[in-house]
Structure 1
Amino acid sequence: MSADLSLYRNIGIFAHVDAGKTTTTERILKLTGKIHKLGEVHEGESTTDFMEQEAERGITIQSAAVSCFWKGYRFNVIDTPGHVDFTVEVYRSLKVLDGGVGVFCGSGGVEPQSETNWRYANDAEVSRLIFVNKLDRIGADFIRVTEQVKKVLGANPLIMVLPIGREDTFKGVVDLLTQKAYIWDETGQPENYEVTDVPADMADDVEMYRTQLIETALEQDDDLLMAYMDGEEPSIDDIKRCIRKGCRDLAFFPTYCGSAFKNKGMQLLLDAVVEYLPSPTEVIPQPLTDEEGNENGQHAIVSADEPFRALAFKIMDDRFGALTFIRIYSGVLNKGDTILNSFTGKTERIGRMVEMYANDRIDLTTAQAGDIIALVGMKNNTQTGHTLCDPKHPCTLEPMVFPEPVISISVTPKDKGSVEKMGIAIGKMVAEDPTFRVETDVDSGETILKGMGELHLDIKVDILKRTYGVELVVGQPQVAYRETITREVEDSYTHKKQSGGSGQFGKIDYRIRPGEQNSGFTFKSTVVGGSVPKEFMPAIEKGFQSMMSTGTLAGFPVLDVEIEVFDGGFHAVDSSAIAFEIAAKGAFRQSIPKAGAQLLEPIMKVDVFTPEDHVGDVIGDLNRRRGMISGQEAGVTGVRIKADVPLSEMFGYISSLRTMTSGRGQFSMEFSHYSPCPANVAETVIAKEKEKKAAAAKN
């Protein structure tokens, strides 16, 4: 018998670093009976931060999935990272969630990473609640944070509660709907509270905010709104129904407050997850796609009666073995079933499947649509974004698209014993993280690790050293430069080789021109009259495209090039696919320098928070780093400065910022776009690459 999907809530907890996401998750687990002793992030004991690196740094790196129950409802909760270098975890979690809780710091407000995660959630059309945390902190102000949410995020917070007391006198909240006060004692136990009448000094505020709440909610139902305007008071159930609709439609975001650390306000948040966030059957079904990734008009209907369809959204290797986390969108999966990976075309029998409780697990014999579970020990190279389905009903769910790495470092094992260990470890790490790439430098033979930022690679090196015991020598961070062209060239190239026996011949006339930004590589044929037979066009395209990985300036990958073949020639005997592929490669080498080859550098979107008295120093420093200031905004506790800065100028920035601001500054950055390098920078980079290649050639 299948479970009632209306009782499921698949939710994510996400926010800025240090807003209290993981502590909030811990409190949810305590209240739902999943843990008995509370672990604190600042003590390195939290349940969902179970990597050694997470416990030490007090940040969440991987998305930990936890199942629990509240008042008869099943919650699948995912605690996601707040640091910008790990937003891939947020992105892929949002892909499989139905709702979320955005946690904001009561004193810090809408901090840099809050914006990035909020934007991702908007793109994924995920319904959210807002929880303003840490109201016991000095400088905490619930209403100010809600105003920031409006101004900075362009969102509409629907205030559901008001805090009782401020900062160290914060002791509870007033529920605006029921007009009841929830007051906790100072034992820190979440169940130690009493429900009382609204404090007399808050009566006017409660009436004002309750009126705003009702008017905003009833905009979801014209009939109820008209009746209310005529003086008819709506029922609590009618108001809740309108809030639920508005929340699901992203018209507004029900907003709560409290102190997760002191266990105040959490029950109302959990009740809101039940009341207002959607069940799996209430969200838009996932679209199915064709082999090229284009939607085909079909959807994975969330029902246990449909064929089995699931998305692998995370691969993880831990002390128990390899885990493949999946979200089941439709159908039922039983232990022993055979499933198809539609990407690899391989089938596999399910040996073990488990429900996750952070770093612990419970074995399952069956799971169904709406469930988030982990499969143990899959062997056929299932990767993040792969679709798993019923072999009798093959399909492909909309895939995940991940950003390209922008920073790299070289690593060299110190001894022979570490070489094999490093190879095995890196293989596992690449499978776990789609934004972590590994290559071998063809000239030096060094292993190159590529990632999304300094902290990202710092953590990876730390894992290699401590988790896998690999002794390493680590090189300096390197920027992922790119090359492109700036003008159109019309050219011709002939590949001719005749040395007895069958020869090779291929002639192409072509135009090579700059493509649209972010277009990558574009190829088209306008040949008429059969001067180059159609069957050779794929080989020509392959030849050109294979050269895009190595530019002519400094050997960096080439971006945004369009190639048009308009004429050519062939020989009835000597022409072949390989001959035309070689011709295309020669044509690329010949024409790229003529087309105004140009070096591009990655530009990062930088978001800095600084106390007001250090603004001048911070802006001056960003200008010296070739940064372009795009905006600044004064807040209660300091100033936020936004800038576009070349990645090459940002290495070690956190140390400089802390020095300038006496340790009080914060920043986040994410990749924005590629931009032409200034001539002096390009000359230095190109010369350095040539020196490196020359040194490697000598060795």
Structure 2
Amino acid sequence: MAVSAVSRKTPLRRVRNIGIMAHIDAGKTTTTERILLYTGLTHKLGEVHDGNAVMDWMAQERERGITITSAATTVFWGGTGASKNGKGGGRQEGLHTRIPEQHRINIIDTPGHVDFTVEVERSLRVLDGSIALFDSVAGVEPQSETVWRQADKYNVPRIAFVNKMDRIGADFYKAVGTMIDRLGANAVPVQLPIGAEGEFQGIVDLVEMKAVVYLDDLGAEWQETEIPADMQELASEYREKLMDAVADQDEELMMLYLEGEEIDPEQIRTAIRKATLNIQMTPVFVGSAFKNKGVQPLLDGVVDYLPSPLDVPPIQGVGPDGETITREADENGPLAALSFKVQSDPHVGKLTYMRVYSGTLKSGSYVYNTTKGKRERIGRLLQLHANSREQRDEVYAGELVAAIGLSDTGTGDTLVAENEERIVLEEMIFPEPVISQAIEPKTKADQEKLSVALQRLAEEDPTFRVHGDEETGQTIIDGMGELHLEIIVDRLLREFRVDANIGKPQVAYRETIRKRVENVEGRFVRQTGGRGQYGHAVVNIDHNDEGNYAFENKIVGGVIPREYIPSVDKGIQSALDDGAIAGFPVVDVKFELVDGSYHDVDSNEMAFFIAGSMAAKEAIKRANPVLLEPIMDVEVVMPEEFMGDVMGDLSARRGQIQGMDSRGGGQVIRAMVPLSEMFGYATTVRSKTQGRATFTMQFDHYAEVPKSIAAELAERG
């Protein structure tokens, strides 16, 4: 595999690391396919509904038409140019009138299905900017809100693209309104559509105050013209809104604007860029990726308004003594790289995707994994283009790459050069799985293969867990939803040739307590002649409003020696695995170790571990334990005539209706429904609405289980 032209050097200011994020079916993969076409990386259109999209490279993705894993690709863009015959493109020399230099754009195509939220989360962690895609008919949808919140969490500047303007019911202005109302975004159009649905012909550029009309289906032939007469008033109104939004970014611009002077478009772009990078506004673009309209100007927007690695704050990490260390985006600085994804590949084995934040990563070099405390060797470095790859000798600060040869490095691990200062970058935190199923191979001979395959899949996906049930001897898999586990089972068969049976989905119930109890003893004494065992701990238990587990040592006067305190803590934590009601894990509790005693000869760590566990079990029993169940945020979109049936069904499932709305000609019901009541809902809602409803569901919170159901679960437990 020869080193390709992709390894050429692009200055950091001309690098963009971006993601494309949206609700399922908003057109992410199609938009990416068009980007590949116009930047010259592909010469044939890949369509999601034909099952041959380049970015959707897993077999299940091509079959289902949804994107599951974040495929990464690199493209080069030199700007949209216009020649006399009206042809535009990214690679025709002499046409790049405004963006004269090639920019390197590293794109991660992220899934929009809620079961794969973790993929979006870890992509956003290593990106600098993002394109937020919206369907022009539906506007903001549930997953749009989820990914928007994730982007807010990581302070990712974004531009918006209102897609599918060719669809029946397309409404650009309503879609922008939903961004403002539902996301709280300062969404400011920088373009307006000319026409809609079958009449969608082009766009009005509010920065240049020109119109671009497309002359062919491929989007390659277009003409720059004056704004149509019937749109001039609307264009002036939206140009004014744009100027209002950016004028305070630049004093000189504000003065020119207030005085009614002519303003250079470049000055406006600079102000828009500044506001976008500061996350004070989201520039909104418009088009139809499927009809090849508006994609090249969107690429210009990526270059114009999204950050380079130099525009984002330097990455921070923790040094050996807990001090904060900053790493600038400098290829000559010390190496700091973050692994954000692990994938098993049928040809090369384990692929570790990483972002190099600082320094230079070299093929064949030794690195130190500061998260695991292990030395690793980089085998080869690969530049990725969805499902094809090209070899690199070196990768520089600000770039994304996949490495072969890292056996111990997992998602969220930090890599530094062997002989340089140790630093651990901020780790990634992933949500806990909410659903579990028993799994077994169809033939006993496949048991070993199944274990290896499941372990490998768990390495790739931090929200997929595998564990054994000690009582039944079964292997249990945990995930984020039915589709998540369905695809895992599918991959076992396709990639690992293991045919498996799975049990009925089980809900991940939890237990907690409702009252404070003090001075609960755990005493473990075994004296049978010779050296015995002695551990004695006294604890208080309380509900922890901040969530999760907390332990506080309140021992005074050395009644328990300091070296035994961690053993008590570990013993308490071991007791939390098996709750008092039905044996589910106990959450949101706080323990205080307040008293105890020890024996000079017989006390040891194991004795205090057991004493801690005994005290915790007794404390939980006395503290009014209750059962918790996962509650899902469900949104159903359907024609109005089915609303009564759908609402009745949701109420019968113990659902609490949160609100109703209309969207894109359909009605929307939002409800909070226990996960245990949602199994098989897809089939039910289809039959109740003649197949015309769609629904999304995501975990929202845990809530107390009604007493009658808790009693039933306790009997089973």
Q: TM-score, normalised by structure 1?
A: 0.95
Aligned AA (2:149): R
Report if aligned partners of 1:31, 1:190 keep a CA contact under 8 Å in 2. no
Cα deviation 1:275-329 (Å, max 9, x = unaligned): 110101101222213579x7x4322211112101010001011222211000000
SS class of match (1:568): strand
Moved more, 448-457 or 218-227: 218-227
Moved more, 462-471 or 406-415: 462-471
Q: Who is 1:384 aligned against? A: 411
Counterpart selection for 1:428 from 456, 470, 473? 456
Counterpart selection for 2:53 from 38, 46, 71? 46
Counterpart selection for 2:436 from 389, 408, 413? 408
Q: CA deviation at 1:653?
A: 1.3
Report if aligned partners of 2:138, 2:663 keep a CA contact under 8 Å in 1. no
Q: Who is 1:251 aligned against? A: 280
Report if aligned partners of 2:243, 2:257 keep a CA contact under 8 Å in 1. no
Gaps of 5+ in 1: 690-699
Aligned AA (2:404): V
Q: d(CA) in 1 for partners of 2:244 and 2:261?
A: 12
Q: d(CA) in 1 for partners of 2:668 and 2:164?
A: 21
Q: Who is 1:509 aligned against? A: 538
Moved more, 23-32 or 588-597: 588-597
- The residue correspondences of 1:115-514 to structure 2 (distance < 5 A) are 115-186=145-216, 188-289=217-318, 296-320=323-347, 321-379=349-407, 381-391=408-418, 392-490=420-518, 491-514=520-543
**Does residue 524 of the first structure (1) align with residue 548 of the second (2)?**
no
Aligned AA (2:54): T
Report if aligned partners of 1:2, 1:304 keep a CA contact under 8 Å in 2. no
SS class of match (2:560): coil
Q: Who is 2:650 aligned against? A: 622
SS class of match (2:375): strand
Aligned AA (1:120): Q
Q: d(CA) in 1 for partners of 2:120 and 2:257?
A: 40
Report if aligned partners of 2:657, 2:671 keep a CA contact under 8 Å in 1. yes
Q: Who is 1:33 aligned against? A: 40
- The residue correspondences of 1:603-622 to structure 2 (distance < 5 A) are 603-622=631-650
**Does residue 96 of the first structure (1) align with residue 126 of the second (2)?**
yes
**Does residue 538 of the first structure (1) align with residue 566 of the second (2)?**
yes
SS class of match (1:68): strand
SS class of match (1:39): coil
Q: Who is 1:645 aligned against? A: 673
Q: d(CA) in 1 for partners of 2:438 and 2:379?
A: 39
Report if aligned partners of 1:62, 1:89 keep a CA contact under 8 Å in 2. yes
SS class of match (2:53): coil
- The residue correspondences of 1:644-683 to structure 2 (distance < 5 A) are 644-683=672-711
Aligned AA (2:253): L
**Does residue 11 of the first structure (1) align with residue 18 of the second (2)?**
yes
Q: CA deviation at 1:17?
A: 0.7
Counterpart selection for 1:84 from 114, 119, 122? 114
SS class of match (1:281): coil
SS class of match (1:280): coil
SS class of match (2:299): helix
Q: d(CA) in 1 for partners of 2:537 and 2:195?
A: 78
Aligned AA (1:115): E
Aligned AA (1:253): T
Aligned AA (1:172): G
Q: CA deviation at 1:513?
A: 2.0
Q: Who is 2:96 aligned against? A: none
Q: CA deviation at 1:230?
A: 2.1
SS class of match (1:374): strand
SS class of match (2:425): coil
Q: d(CA) in 2 for partners of 1:249 and 1:663?
A: 44
Cα deviation 1:406-455 (Å, max 9, x = unaligned): 00111111112221221121121011100000011111111111000111
SS class of match (2:453): helix
Aligned AA (1:526): K
SS class of match (2:424): coil
Report if aligned partners of 1:163, 1:257 keep a CA contact under 8 Å in 2. yes
Q: d(CA) in 2 for partners of 1:289 and 1:480?
A: 34
RMSD value over aligned CA atoms?
1.5
Return closer, same or farther for 1:39/1:312 CA change in 2, 3 Å cut-off: same
Q: d(CA) in 2 for partners of 1:279 and 1:565?
A: 51
Q: Who is 2:89 aligned against? A: none
Q: Who is 1:695 aligned against? A: none
Q: d(CA) in 1 for partners of 2:48 and 2:107?
A: 17
Return closer, same or farther for 1:668/1:517 CA change in 2, 3 Å cut-off: farther
Aligned AA (2:609): E
SS class of match (1:267): helix
Cα deviation 1:18-37 (Å, max 9, x = unaligned): 11000000000000111111
Q: CA deviation at 1:2?
A: 6.1
Q: Who is 1:696 aligned against? A: none
Report if aligned partners of 1:112, 1:667 keep a CA contact under 8 Å in 2. no
Moved more, 647-656 or 360-369: 647-656
Calculate percent identity across the aligned residue pairs: 47
Q: TM-score, normalised by structure 2?
A: 0.93
Q: d(CA) in 2 for partners of 1:535 and 1:244?
A: 57
Q: d(CA) in 2 for partners of 1:589 and 1:636?
A: 54
> How many residues are matched?
684
**Does residue 572 of the first structure (1) align with residue 600 of the second (2)?**
yes
- The residue correspondences of 1:578-593 to structure 2 (distance < 5 A) are 578-593=606-621
Report if aligned partners of 2:538, 2:615 keep a CA contact under 8 Å in 1. no
Q: Who is 1:692 aligned against? A: none
Q: Who is 1:685 aligned against? A: 713
Moved more, 570-579 or 24-33: 570-579
Q: d(CA) in 2 for partners of 1:75 and 1:323?
A: 21
Q: CA deviation at 1:611?
A: 2.1
SS class of match (1:282): coil
Q: CA deviation at 1:517?
A: 4.5
Q: Who is 2:97 aligned against? A: none
Report if aligned partners of 2:346, 2:495 keep a CA contact under 8 Å in 1. no
Aligned AA (1:444): T
Q: CA deviation at 1:525?
A: 2.0
Cα deviation 1:146-197 (Å, max 9, x = unaligned): 11111111112111111122211112112122122222234x3231222222
Report if aligned partners of 2:377, 2:405 keep a CA contact under 8 Å in 1. no
Q: Who is 1:563 aligned against? A: 591
Report if aligned partners of 1:408, 1:478 keep a CA contact under 8 Å in 2. yes
Q: CA deviation at 1:607?
A: 2.2
Report if aligned partners of 2:320, 2:423 keep a CA contact under 8 Å in 1. no
Moved more, 218-227 or 206-215: 218-227
Q: d(CA) in 2 for partners of 1:462 and 1:593?
A: 42
Gaps of 5+ in 2: 1-7, 79-101
Report if aligned partners of 1:12, 1:93 keep a CA contact under 8 Å in 2. yes
Moved more, 279-288 or 208-217: 208-217
Q: d(CA) in 1 for partners of 2:586 and 2:320?
A: 26
Report if aligned partners of 2:319, 2:422 keep a CA contact under 8 Å in 1. no
SS class of match (1:664): coil
- The residue correspondences of 1:60-75 to structure 2 (distance < 5 A) are 60-71=67-78, 72-75=102-105
SS class of match (2:161): strand
Q: Who is 1:697 aligned against? A: none
Q: Who is 2:92 aligned against? A: none
Aligned AA (1:673): H
Return closer, same or farther for 1:517/1:615 CA change in 2, 3 Å cut-off: farther
Cα deviation 1:610-660 (Å, max 9, x = unaligned): 222222222222211111222222234122222221110111112222222
